[in-house]
């Protein structure tokens, strides 16, 4: 997937399910489920990983952990697309300075633009970089790890997996491209110690602690919902988002956790169908662990400012406040989560 590799002008600045679950036929208003507001986490690949970092740092008071797969540190691009496609992807002549980014984040926090950074010492972080990743190279991801260390994440709560010979992809035990591939749909299968590597399970375990076993066939419900309630078309967000709801989370008082899984560039439903939603393994872990999985969507856009590869905004195409709590995409995702934590209305 690549993050925007061809952005060289102003115009460029800016399935059949493999698992069994029921799906609503048309977008609806996102239901309220009474989810636990103290158990929200986030993860993503590539531009989704940069967004996951932004969400974790900006909303550190309410997001308890993050999984970062091939993503750089907070505010790396500094509202500059040329930094984004070079330095922040580990390809520039100038290395990333994590200390400078920590200082910037502290300034934003002091201005009230993001949550206080003192919250980060309570957060749990998983970071992954494949040794064969040619899109976001390891120096950029190394800087993400150093950023989290300097911003206060405790060593025991920070896991960095960086020895697997993987390309640019979400990693599964047995689905997708060969391990070293850097190609659509940016889902690959890899082995670690002669066993299939289950990245969804690994990052969720890092965030939440030991989990109940995954299921082979998820039995919950996939809800499609209207994202226009939360973001207009100018944000590049799609009309429709998706939510996986285990059967256990439909029960009164279920108090389920919410995990936000954020796709990368060229990886939305518009680009690859529902592969990121159905084949990355999150839903398999959700059923037995009272975990709802939110899959927000962003589409390609050709109007200015442009987002031609369907990337989340981590360099400023939606506005200079993209990494603040007030950023349009950030605020939309947070509003979705907040709605899930509301108590459902009693039926008549």
Enclosing H/E stretch for 245: strand 240-245
Active site residue: 14, 46, 236, 301, which one?
A: 46
Instruction: For residue 293, give both structure tokens.
Output: 């999985």
Burial class (CB in 10 A: 0-12, 13-18, 19+), 345: exposed
Instruction: For residue 310, give both structure tokens.
Output: 């369907």
3-state secondary structure of 123: coil
Active site residue: 2, 142, 168, 301, which one?
A: 168
Instruction: For residue 175, give both structure tokens.
Output: 């689905």
**Contact criterion met (CB below 8 Å) for 258 and 219:** no
Active site residue 185: no
Among positive and negative, which fits the CA dihedral 120, 126, 129, 135?
negative
Report the alpha-carbon angle 260-46-74, nearest 5: 80
With CA atoms as reference, report the closest residue to 143 among 133, 135, 151, 154.
Answer: 151
Active site residue: 133, 142, 198, 279, which one?
A: 133
Active site residue 133: yes
- Residues 341, 35: Cα–Cα separation, whole Å: 4
Active site residue 189: no
Active-site residue list:
46, 133, 168
């Amino acid at each position: 997937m690549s993050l925007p590799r061809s952005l060289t002008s102003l115009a460029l600045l800016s399935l059949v399910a493999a698992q069994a679950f029921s799906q609503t036929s048309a977008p609806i208003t996102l239901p309220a489920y009474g989810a636990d507001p103290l158990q929200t986490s986030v993860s993503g690949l590539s531009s989704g990983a940069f967004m996951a970092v932004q969400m974790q740092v900006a909303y550190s008071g309410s997001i308890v952990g993050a999984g970062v797969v091939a993503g750089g540190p907070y505010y790396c691009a500094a509202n500059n697309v040329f930094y984004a496609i070079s330095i922040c992807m580990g390809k520039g002549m100038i290395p990333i300075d994590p200390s400078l980014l920590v200082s910037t984040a502290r300034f934003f926090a002091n201005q009230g633009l993001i949550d206080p950074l003192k919250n980060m010492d309570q957060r749990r972080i998983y970071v992954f970089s494949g040794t064969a990743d040619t899109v976001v190279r390891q120096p950029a991801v190394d800087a993400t790890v150093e950023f989290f260390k300097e911003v206060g994440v405790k060593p025991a709560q920070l896991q960095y997996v960086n020895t697997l010979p993987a390309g640019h992809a979400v990693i599964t035990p047995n689905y997708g491209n060969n391990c070293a591939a850097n190609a659509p749909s940016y889902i690959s299968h890899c082995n670690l110690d002669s066993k299939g590597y289950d990245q969804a399970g690994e990052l969720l375990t890092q965030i939440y602690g030991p989990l109940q076993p995954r299921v082979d066939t998820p039995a919950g419900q996939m809800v499609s919902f209207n994202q226009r309630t939360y973001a207009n078309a100018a944000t590049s967000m799609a009309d429709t988002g998706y939510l996986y709801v285990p059967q256990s989370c439909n029960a009164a008082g279920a108090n389920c956790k919410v995990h936000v899984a954020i796709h990368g560039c060229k990886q939305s439903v518009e680009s690859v169908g529902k592969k990121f939603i159905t084949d990355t393994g999150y839903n398999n872990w959700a059923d037995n662990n009272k975990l709802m999985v939110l899959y927000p969507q962003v589409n390609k856009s050709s109007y200015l400012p442009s987002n031609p590869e369907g990337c989340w905004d981590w360099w400023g195409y939606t506005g200079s406040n993209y990494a603040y709590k007030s950023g349009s995409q950030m605020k939309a995702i947070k509003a979705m989560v907040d709605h899930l934590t509301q108590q459902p209305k009693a039926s008549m």
